[in-house]
Amino acid sequence: MYCKYCGAKLKDEHADCPKCGKNNRLNSSDDAKDFRFALLGFLVPIAGLVLYLVWKKDFPMRSSSCIRGTAAGALLYVCLPVFIILSFVFGAAY
């Protein structure tokens, strides 16, 4: 892992930087469930999937929001056309 402030290589991912001395630990406020990312995943499932894959290690709660929105959006985008097609097929038989 590298320091997010100066780019120096760190031995431990939760360590202080030996070069600049800044703290590289994640704050608990950095990671929280966020409706905005769930909404983004719902509206653009591929973006939610990419964000989930990028954040799943560093921000597990935020990535959880992304994948839940992605799952809901993908389910809607798959089920809605199937429902519409079936309604036309079986609705025309009346």
In tens, the pLDDT along 35-81 reads 999 999 999 999 999 999 998 888 889 999 999 999 999 999 999 99
Residues 12 and 58 in one domain: no
Are 5 and 35 in the same domain? no
Residue 27's pLDDT band, with cuts at 50, 70 and 90, is: low
The rounded mean pLDDT for the chain is 85
8 and 36 together in one domain: no
The parent domain of residue 6 ranges over 1-27
Q: How far apart are CA 33 and CA 16, in angstroms?
A: 26
Residue 14 pLDDT: 59
Give me the number of domains the chain comprises: 2
Say how far residue 6 (Cα) sits from the centre of its chain: 26
Q: Could you tell me what percent of the chain has a pLDDT over 90?
A: 44
Residue 3 confidence (pLDDT) above 90: no
Phi, psi of 22 (to 5 degrees): -80, 155
